[in-house]
Amino acid sequence: MPSKPDEFQIPSLAQWAQAASKSAPGGQIEALHWLTPDGITVKPLYTAADTADLPYTDTLPGFEPYLRGPQASMYAVRPWTIRQYAGFSTAEESNAFYRKALAGGAQGVSVAFDLATHRGYDSDHPRVTGDVGKAGVAIDSVEDMKVLFEQIPLERVSVSMTMNGAVLPVLAGYVVAAEEQGVSQTQLSGTIQNDILKEFMVRNTYIYPPAASMRIVGDIIAYTARNMPRFNSISISGYHMQEAGANQALELAFTLADGKEYVKTAIATGLDVDEFAGRLSFFWAIGMNFYLEVAKMRAARLLWCRIMKGFDAKSPKSLMLRTHCQTSGWSLTEQDPHNNVVRTTIEAMAAVFGGTQSLHTNSFDEAIALPTEFSARIALNTQLIIQEETHITSVIDPWAGSYMMEKLTHDMADAAWKIIEEVDALGGMTRAVDSGWAKLKIEAAAAEKQARIDSGRDVIVGVNKYKLKTQDAIEARDIDNVAVREGQIQRLQQVRAQRDTAAVRAALDALSFAAGHGGNLLELSIAAMRLRATVGEVSDALEQAFGRHRADTHKVSGVYAAAYDADNSHADTMEYWNALKADIAAFAQAQGRRPRVMISKLGQDGHDRGAKVVATAFADLGFDVDIGPLFQTPEECARQAIENDVHAVGVSTLAAGHKTLVPAIIAELKKQGGEGIIVFVGGVIPRQDYDFLYAAGVKGIYGPGTPIPVSAQDVLAQIKKVLAD
């Protein structure tokens, strides 16, 4: 063994390239480069030359620009907080889950609300019959909040709440429930998401127009800064952007641009930047692009420090970016679902290597249904094993000094900064969102990604490669939506019967007046919730002044086809694609018009990535495509489908309302004279529900991972069959 370094012969980079090119495709070393969806080139080899001119590579954690972590000691002293995001049907069931998770090692509570609550409707509202308790916990009043946190000491347990649209009554209800538990506002710790801008781009659980919504954000930041010193007033979220299709650079840029907008909004209320900025936090999605995710988180801290210096922030807490992370839900597959345990573990490690402050790990069955107790325990133990068994926590920022990671971090920062500059040129994120520009950028990225998967260019193990011939049955959690709603209505009736109706009406009137004339809306919401106003009533009082937002519906065109056509390495998929286009063209010639489909979202499910991607791909194949507005009732959807003379209605569902809403749309089509219109369904649908839906009259079910051309061919065949009959 050599005893001195100089006994080794160090080759030149040119010598390495010559040796490596012998095995490179076509003998070209450039063929080994990876061009990421963000436009960043990742090389197969990095050397000291790649980092020689980069700034900040010799910085330390806990110091500006915080690239290596916001705290000096990071996990070596205190690991990240394990925080499992959950909400199941009723407050009682969710409370039982939280208490068991806390006993099993979780260190905080993270609440998922149902879509009726998100959209500011009480459970007895006619528009939410299929949504109550299905994708989270139903909360209508302080009484529900008290049950949700029963025997959970809120002075010690940090609570995170993913809430944006109905943020005022929900946060107010939490504050009042804590008070009645004997916990003051000054003792409360946790985070309210309160990130409304991203809702207009991707998740769509908004209620009021953008300007009014930003007013609410500012009031919450101002109130919490003065009354809740341990509570984070906003969690600026990129998570739902990546889940909707954004690549890492786009997620990073739009999230930080949102952050800039919220800082400007808070300053406009009269606050000094250092009075509130230390309690802003961020929320990232962590997907399967391992290196890019680590680089994204390191770059985020670097850029946020730069942004906050632009606001003349002085406090270190104002300059450092702190974040919660969640492993990707979109990367989970229905096919061969136990593979998802591996995916979540890899994503969790990327979050840890990136320096997260808290983490939620998804359960392996979430592409099928809400997680079971069994799958949730595996998700929780994934974090415990990383924390307790691997010794990963013993080293602060282990990627520091890596030629590749340092270069990739700066490349990611540069790519995101260019997008931030585009946003600034448009006048800021509120205008970028209001114009629809930001949303279309994400939808284009989503369509491109889906085309790469459907063509086989991007591999998903078990979905488009190494597929099983048969799938094992997986136990899935099923929520009895009817029973949950009936229970919520009963509790609502009790609350309304026992309260001082006149006092509640006066409090709601004061809230409506303040919305139009000034006054802190969170303070007034707390007063109303103390008197037992409901979530829906507070939301309605604000709607009287603000109105309810109605989004324009657009679709991108040509992106899916362009990405599909760009891949020439899979001749069989291209042959299939071209044959299907020819078949659709032949249908149009024979029928005198193209096959026409309407892509719909029913109920309060605003997750429209799948709907928009399907609409884009079907249009690129040659279908005429209509997109129904979000939040339709079955009656409204049927009416539009008949008026537009469509051949088929496609229902996209991700929120478990399909057993209620899909039979309803079929019944409405028959009732209104549209018996010849077929209905197909796509999204997160447990296999155990397929027979139920087919019996209800559904003609096609396309679960996660179904290539869009395959579903399109089947829909075309179903349309032909109906016309032939």
Per-position DSSP letters for 247-279, written without gaps between them: -HHHHHHHHHHHHHHHHHHHHHTT--HHHHGGG
Point out the catalytic residue in the list 605, 608, 626, 689. Answer: 605
| pLDDT-above-70 percentage for the chain | 97
Cα angle for residues 175, 230, 533 (degrees, 5° grid):
10
Give the span between the Cα atoms of 131 and 389, in whole angstroms.
Answer: 41
In this prediction, residue 573 carries a pLDDT of: 76
pLDDT for residue 325 is more than 60: yes
User: pLDDT digits over 701-717, tens only?
Assistant: 998 888 899 999 999 99
The reply to whether 239 belongs to the active site is: yes
Region of poorest pLDDT, from 144-148, 240-244, 503-507, 558-562: 558-562
Q: Tell me what the mean pLDDT of segment 145-161 comes to.
A: 95
pLDDT for residue 232 is more than 60: yes
pLDDT for residue 598 is more than 80: yes
User: pLDDT digits over 294-321, tens only?
Assistant: 999 999 999 999 999 999 999 999 999 9
pLDDT for residue 415 is more than 60: yes
The reply to whether 85 belongs to the active site is: yes
Q: Tell me what the mean pLDDT of segment 397-410 comes to.
A: 97
In this prediction, residue 568 carries a pLDDT of: 56
CB atoms within 10 A of CB 210: 18
Give the span between the Cα atoms of 684 and 701, in whole angstroms.
Answer: 10
**362: Cβ–Cβ under 8 A, 6 or more apart, which residues?**
326, 327, 328, 329, 332, 340, 344, 371, 379
Decide which of 418 and 563 is more confident.
Answer: 418
pLDDT for residue 3 is more than 60: no
Decide which of 643 and 89 is more confident.
Answer: 643
Which token pair is 299?
Answer: 């770059």
Within a 13 Å sphere around the CA of 648, how many CA atoms are in the beta-carbon half? 34
| pLDDT-above-90 percentage for the chain | 74
Instruction: Note the residue count of the chain.
Output: 725
pLDDT for residue 322 is more than 90: yes
Q: Where are the alpha helices (DSSP H) in 355-428?
A: 373-389, 403-425
pLDDT for residue 51 is more than 80: yes
- How would residue 25 be classed by pLDDT, with cut points 50, 70 and 90? confident
**197: Cβ–Cβ under 8 A, 6 or more apart, which residues?**
210, 214, 258, 261, 262, 429, 430, 433
pLDDT for residue 1 is more than 60: no
pTM of the model: 0.90
In this prediction, residue 2 carries a pLDDT of: 53
- How would residue 560 be classed by pLDDT, with cut points 50, 70 and 90? confident
In this prediction, residue 84 carries a pLDDT of: 75
In this prediction, residue 618 carries a pLDDT of: 95
User: pLDDT digits over 624-636, tens only?
Assistant: 999 999 999 999 9
Point out the catalytic residue in the list 38, 66, 75, 85. Answer: 85
In this prediction, residue 6 carries a pLDDT of: 65
Q: Is 130 helix (H, G, I), strand (E, B) or coil?
A: coil
Q: Tell me what the mean pLDDT of segment 232-245 comes to.
A: 93
Instruction: Write the single-letter amino acid at 261.
Output: E
- How would residue 8 be classed by pLDDT, with cut points 50, 70 and 90? confident
Region of poorest pLDDT, from 272-276, 363-367, 670-674: 363-367
- DSSP summary character for residue 234: E
- How would residue 401 be classed by pLDDT, with cut points 50, 70 and 90? very high
Point out the catalytic residue in the list 118, 439, 601, 647. Answer: 601
Consecutive H or E run containing 190: strand 190-192
- How would residue 571 be classed by pLDDT, with cut points 50, 70 and 90? low
Point out the catalytic residue in the list 174, 208, 223, 239. Answer: 239
Point out the catalytic residue in the list 296, 324, 607, 612. Answer: 607
- How would residue 67 be classed by pLDDT, with cut points 50, 70 and 90? very high
CA dihedral 336, 338, 342, 343 (to 10 degrees): 60
- How would residue 4 be classed by pLDDT, with cut points 50, 70 and 90? low
User: pLDDT digits over 98-132, tens only?
Assistant: 998 899 888 888 899 999 999 999 999 999 988 89
pLDDT for residue 590 is more than 60: yes
Point out the catalytic residue in the list 118, 134, 198, 240. Answer: 240
Mean of per-residue pLDDT scores for the chain: 92
- What are the CB-based long-range contacts (under 8 Å, 24+) for 114-118? 114/87, 114/138, 114/139, 115/205, 115/603, 115/604, 115/605, 115/606, 115/655, 116/604, 117/163, 117/166, 117/170, 117/535, 118/163, 118/164, 118/165, 118/166, 118/205, 118/604
- How would residue 562 be classed by pLDDT, with cut points 50, 70 and 90? confident
The reply to whether 601 belongs to the active site is: yes
Which token pair is 529?
Answer: 């919730």
Q: Tell me what the mean pLDDT of segment 363-390 comes to.
A: 90
